[in-house]
Structure 1
Amino acid sequence: MSSRDLSPRRLATAAWALRLQFFVTGALFATWGVHVPTVKAHYGLGEQSLAIAMLASGVGALLALTQAGRVIARFGPRGVAAVTGVLCATGVSLLIVPNVYVGLVLLLMLFGATGSLFDVAINAEATEIEHRAGRPLMSGFHAMFSLGGMVGAGFGSLLPWLGWSAQTHLWVACGAGIAIILGASVAMLEMRAEPGDKQPLSLPRGVLALIGTLAALGLIAEGAMYDWSVLFMKQERASDASVSALGYASFSLAMALGRFGGDWVRARVAPVPLMVASGLLAAAGMSIALLVPPAGAGLLGFALVGLGLSNVVPVLFSAASKVPGVSPAHGIAAVSSVGYLGMMAGPPLIGMIAEHSSLTIGLSCVVFFALIMAMAAQRALGSTRSRVAGPAAAD
């Protein structure tokens, strides 16, 4: 894909529009995360049944990713973001409308499919803007996702004081999300397709497969925070609804702060040591949250996990977008497909372990996967540093 010639002002406008898209995506994911206990209670589910419903979201995402490159090539990131963003927000608003389990499964499948297409579309545009700006910007875009998650979770923690019902919160979040998505879509770039972009996604091989493996490991940990952090604080630490929501908020705040400084870090630290440090810090933070009983320790631990994971996805998506012979949308979709396999398998695995033991034991998987991510960094990125790392290679 390429875009038309742009003035600096037009590029800056498009960049801010894209930041808003990342922000609203994070807020929508946080809204789902805050209401996992609500959904569990509404449908009368155990951890295993809830995990299976979450699996539907991953299946929807994976199916959508097989066509992401083709769809984005045909309609452009701007059009895809507008349509899928609206559908994603609508799916969130309807989470507790059905009274039957199959309704939840279908809604989560819609949420996963539209959310993944929206994600690839805005990341494809992010790589184009980063390329045209000539400097690292990807971490800053993803920081807005984390900031949106923090705001969404923080707002959820205020519900008892606002006196709102869960459904009122979902309707408000949906309305605000749709307004931002449509407004920001108008200011996004118009990117035209090139002939090579029309091929459907194939299974990633070589460099993309290795990068995708790291993405899977990081997204398992990140997905666990989205889906289980609030429930962990409520069930395992006996926290009230407000404190439980702050578990997700602390994770998102730390991730946002790490990403706002991430472009500066990426310009000075090579991908391999950055990945190693990220995995070790995430493992340490999760260990604190699981092993130290006070609720405050859980909030601190989740914050360290967020800081540790903050630059994993920006580094990997930026690398995937620069693999020779592969368009940015296809590179990101290929890595995302492997990453979503991890995100798809991770939360249900944690839920099934929790069903037969405890959520604390289930979330210990995050420690294990974060350590593997640190150990696998050299193999996945070491041989590709000079080709895809950009300025971060000069350390």
Structure 2
Amino acid sequence: MQLSARTRWASRTQFFASGFIFATWGVHIPTVKAQYAISEAELGLAMLAAGVGALLGLTQASRWIGRYGARTTARSCGAIYALLLAGLLVMPGYTALLGVLAAFGVVTSVFDVAINTEAAELELRNGRPLMSGMHGMFSLGGMAGAVTGSAVLAAGMAPQLHLTLVASAMASAIVFAAQRMLPREVTAFAVNNEGFRLPRGALVILGVLAALGLIAEGAIYDWSVLYLKQELGSPQQQAALAYASFSAAMAATRFCGDAMRARLAPAVLLRGSALLAAASMTLVLLTEAPRLALVGFAGVGVGFANVVPILFAASARVPGIEPARGIAAVSAAAYLGFMAGPPVIGFLAEASSLTAALYVVVVFAIGLAASARWADPA
């Protein structure tokens, strides 16, 4: 079935908005830390609250999508996800911040499942790969959000005004784009009411690898800005470019990811990508020059860009497992890893230093390279 361009662009818009919102949160992590006068461990706990909220959302996502459809779920959860940005700096205290971030995690995970369900349906109907491009739009949104955040901070805009403007714009974009999503009654994917399910059997290994990749990726998203500001002494507007360089490189790589996967064996591509990520992150942590660190963050983005597409594709080829079930199981493990990474880094940073804690990214990237053969389980 041929899809209209408006339907495809509606989905791309949702992914772009998700990345933009997430980047805006990443840019203002130092602002939140200063606003509430909290330590790295307390900041890590705040991120863990978002992770716990995301886990709760994952347990309910399939039920909500099954009951209301991907379009309605994406519209409501996406709008709330955007609007919660405006509340990050105006909570009466740290405990209230934890509550807001927990809610942030719930709607983030459900919105993510809804738009990925829509993207998978579009790919099925289109008859050719679309998913890498959709995730490229997330990375592009992340780059745009980080660059915008850097620009407004350099211009002296008040952080609260920036968050409010982004919240309003992204909520409007999500609601508008949702009107062009597929109606619930024509969705071919059966969404069950069993809720969250952990991977089993051969999928466990792929799930662990996906979690390793996303723990490392999540660490970059949430800690790269603070790293440049705190460890290398960069002004916040320059530090925000850490997220931008990482997201821009990841977006560019994802947009050509399908062509790369067509030319290289999965294990070869995963091994090379992971080793590039490890080498680039080592450069970031060893250099004292912020500009060279930005180059390193870009290299990390290139390295991690294809990890999720490779492992998701592998999960669809596990013998005896339906492709949709394999992708869903590995996706759940990957998402848990993505949410677990930031608080793990926070606690390690409190015990040692942020620089030492971020070596977790190097270790996990090397682990991915060493386990690359599992990228072709058939």
Matched letter for residue 352 of structure 2 = S
What percentage of aligned pairs have identical amino acids?
51
In 1, the alpha carbon distance for the partners of 2:297 and 2:6 equals: 34
Q: Per-residue CA shift, 1:172-209, capped at 9, x if unaligned? A: 11011011101111111124476672322222112432
Contact 1:93/1:171, CA 8 A, preserved across alignment: yes
- Counterpart-to-counterpart distance in 2, 1:339 and 1:209: 11
Letter in 2 for 1:383: P
Deviates more, 1:266-275 or 1:37-46: 266-275
Residue 331 (structure 2) aligns with: 336
Equivalent residue, structure 2, for 1:300:
295
Q: Aligned residue for 1:81? A: 74
Contact kept in structure 2, 1:126 and 1:141, CA below 8 Å: yes
Deviation, 1:121, is 1.1
Q: What is the DSSP-based 3-state SS (H/G/I as helix, E as strand, rest coil) of the residue aligned with 1:199?
A: coil
Partners of 1:83 and 1:354 lie apart in 2 by 36
Offset of residue 159 of structure 1: 1.7
Listed as ranges, the gaps of 5+ residues in structure 1 are 1-5, 385-395
Q: Is the 8 A contact 1:82 1:182 kept in 2?
A: yes
Question: Number of paired residues?
Answer: 375
Q: Confirm whether residue 94 of structure 1 aligns to residue 87 of structure 2.
A: yes
Residue from 95, 101, 111 that aligns with 2:104:
111
Aligned partners of 1:78, 1:26: CA distance in 2, in Å? 18
What does residue 391 of structure 1 align with? none
Aligned to 1:187, the other structure's residue is in SS state coil
Query: Match of 1:388?
Result: none
Which residue pairs with 2:210 in the alignment?
Answer: 215
Moved more, 91-100 or 142-151: 91-100
1:363 Cα deviation from its structure 2 partner: 0.3
Distance in 2 (alpha carbons) for counterparts of 1:37 and 1:188: 36
Letter in 2 for 1:147: L
Q: How far has the Cα of 1:95 moved from its partner?
A: 0.6
Amino acid at match of 2:29: V
Between stretches 146-155 and 197-206, larger displacement belongs to 197-206
- 1:325–1:376 distance in 2 versus 1, CA, 3 Å: closer
**Is 1:226 aligned with 2:217?**
no
Report the equivalent of 1:130: 123
Cα–Cα, structure 1 residues 79 and 332, in superposed 2: closer, same or farther, change >3 Å? farther
Change in Cα spacing, 1:63 to 1:193, as seen in structure 2 (3 Å) is farther
Alignment partner, residue 267 of structure 1: 262
Alpha carbons of structure 1 residues 44 and 129: separation in structure 2 relative to 1, 3 Å:
same
CA contact (8 A) 2:284 2:292 kept: yes
Residue 244 (1) aligns with residue 272 (2): no
Corresponding residue SS for 1:66: helix
CA distance in 2, matches of 1:110, 1:326: 32
Change beyond 3 A, Cα 1:326–1:249: same
Q: Any unmatched runs of 5+ in structure 2? A: none
In 2, Cα distance between the equivalents of 1:353 and 1:325? 37
Q: Distance in 1 between matches of 2:198 and 2:160?
A: 40
Q: What is the distance in 2 between the residues matched to 1:216 and 1:197?
A: 24
Q: Look up the match of 2:35.
A: 42
Using structure 1 for the length normalisation, give the TM-score. 0.90
When residues 110 and 26 of structure 1 are mapped into structure 2, their CA distance, relative to the original with a 3 A threshold, is: same
The equivalent position to 2:63 in structure 1, one of 55, 64, 70, is 70
Between 1:336-345 and 1:235-244, the stretch displaced more is 336-345
Q: Secondary structure at the match of 2:195?
A: coil
Could you tell me how far apart the structure 2 residues matched to 1:334 and 1:59 are?
A: 18
Shift of 1:327: 7.4
In structure 2, what is the equivalent of residue 377 of structure 1?
372
Structure-2 residue corresponding to 1:139: 132
Q: Which amino acid aligns with 1:313?
A: V
Cα separation, 2, equivalents of 1:320 and 1:70: 23
Displacement of 1:331: 4.7
The answer (yes or no) to whether the contact 2:3–2:126 under 8 Å persists in 1 is: no
Structure 2: distance between partners of 1:216 and 1:280: 17
Between the aligned partners of 2:103 and 2:191, the Cα distance in structure 1 is 28
Per mean C-alpha deviation after superposition, the further-off stretch among 311-320 and 90-99 is 311-320
Cα distance, 1:21 vs structure 2: 0.6
Distance in 1 between the 2:55 and 2:317 partners?
A: 22
Structure 1 stretch displaced more, 346-355 or 109-118: 346-355
Matched residues in 2 for 1:125 and 1:238: separation? Answer: 42
Distance 2:3 2:196 in 1: 34
Instruction: Please list the CA deviations of residues 344-393 of structure 1 after superposition, one character each: whole Å capped at 9, or x if unmatched.
Output: 332222112211221110100100011111222213x3223xxxxxxxxx
For residues 332 and 271 of structure 1, the distance between their equivalents in structure 2, rounded to whole angstroms, comes to 16
The 3-state SS of whatever aligns with 1:158 is helix
Aligned residue for 1:383, secondary structure, equals coil
SS of residue paired to 2:69: helix
Deviation at 1:320, TM superposition (A): 4.4
* Residue in 2 that maps onto 1:206: 201
Per-residue CA distance 1:194-244 (angstroms, 9 max, x = gap): 667232222211243222212101111110111100000001110011110
Where does residue 356 of structure 2 map in the other structure? 361
